[in-house]
A = this chain, B = another copy of it.
Amino acid sequence: MKQKQVIQQLLDKAVVQIDGSQPGDIQVHNDGLYNRVLTEGSLGLGESYMDGWWDSVQLDEFFSRIHSANLDDTVVDKRLIYNALKARVFNMQNKRLSKRVAHEHYDLDTEFYEKMLGPSMQYTCAYWKRAQTLTEAQEHKLDLVCQKLQLREGERVLELGCGWGGFARHAATKYGCSVVAYNISSQQVAYARRWNAGLPVEIIQDDYRTATGEFDKVAAIGLCEHVGYKNYRTLMETVHRTLKRRGLFLLHTIGNNKSVLTSDPWFDKYIFPGGMLPSVAQLSTSMDGLFVLEDWHNFGPDYDRTLMAWYHNVNLHWDEFKSKFDERFHRAWHYYLQSLAGAFRARRIHLWQVVMSKDGILGGYEPVR
């Protein structure tokens, strides 16, 4: 069978047509695509997109269909080529840290993130339940975290991984808390310190594992995706060590339906080097005997909407960055935001806010939504 036919038969299960005109269909500009996908898997799929070998009217919808069809779970044929395809396109490979690309990704001009993320500078999932705009939804997410943590004036909050300092600022200005936050990115630390100048917020440029002291509450928002499965227990132990008895810990993370020990090679190479999505099983094994699980909230579809809002912002402002980033980077960014949106839409991955307490909240914990 020709390679194109192999691919089309697989795509049939996801109702995706090659050179079709529906939103999730793909247009192939270079027939080398089929061989590249069959031999290089998900890395080849992503890199060939960056190279302009194929397009989709709606890339997010293409990925939503691929994931909804459970293509990786479907035994479509006994023939070797199908198995090879399955293994390469969907299974994770050993992580391959790419310092060069990490540098490219993380040292992007802060101005680019300001345009993409908007004034909240929140690079994690927003909460859309009662929001109309991204800015509102990010404000609501910060409030949701503060309310779930039951923040009270004068409380001491530890934040592990703090991005550009938006949560620390919110907890300090709206809830009257003092915050100690850890982050290893010098650029983010500098930004967070400026943004929190004059507030009871201390930004420490160090690894989360070095955190000391005793806190009323602990938050980790978007950190867990970066620590790797070998460190989930260490993360939990770090929180357990620094949290007061009967204190609350909120973990905000993307999660996976299945336990995996590796990450997607394209994302690993171009977007989040060393990134890895935990499963419920991995997180709960790592909290076993340390915390009481008070509340587990899954609002993954809100990340679909958040990513599409970022995608919209990137397109809106692209002309301002044309001189800095080439078209290949532009396409990579499209691919990143839209393929991830499709995975959330298909419920293949999730956004979890997990609230844990040390020894339990007496009388019970009242969940907030």
Contact = CB atoms under 8 A, between A and B. Distances in A.
Interface in A265-299: 279-281, 283-285, 287-289, 291-299
Interface in A158-195: none
Contact of A281 (B288, B302, B347): B288
B297 A287 contact: no
Interface in A190-209: none
A258 interface: yes
A361 interface: yes
Contacts of A285: 281, 284-285
A250 to B, nearest CB: 14
A365 interface: yes
A296 B283 CA distance: 14
B288 A367 contact: no
B292 A350 contact: yes
Which size class do A's interface residues fall under? 35 or more
A299 to B, nearest CB: 6
Contacts of A346: 360
Contact of A295 (B287, B291, B298): B298
Contact of A294 (B287, B298, B363): B298
A299 B302 CA distance: 26
Nearest to A299: B364
A279 B363 CA distance: 20
Nearest to A293: B280
Protomer copies: 2
A75 interface: no
Contacts of A284: 279-281, 283-285
Interface in A308-352: 345-348, 350, 352
A364 B296 contact: no
Contact of A292 (B257, B259, B302, B345): B257
Contacts of A279: 284, 288
Nearest to A351: B364
A301 interface: yes
Contacts of A359: 68, 70, 347
B369 A367 contact: yes
A1 interface: no
A69 to B, nearest CB: 10
B362 A289 contact: no
Contacts of A222: none
A357 B283 CA distance: 19
A279 B348 CA distance: 24
A300 interface: yes
A321 B352 CA distance: 50
Contacts of A300: 364
Contact of A302 (B293, B295, B348, B364): B364
Contacts of A369: 367, 369
Contacts of A280: 284, 287-288, 293
Contacts of A68: 359
Contact of A257 (B259, B289, B301): B289
B360 A292 contact: no
A347 B362 contact: yes
A146 to B, nearest CB: 19
Contact of A347 (B299, B302, B361, B367): B361
A107 to B, nearest CB: 35
A10 B88 CA distance: 59
A296 B299 contact: no
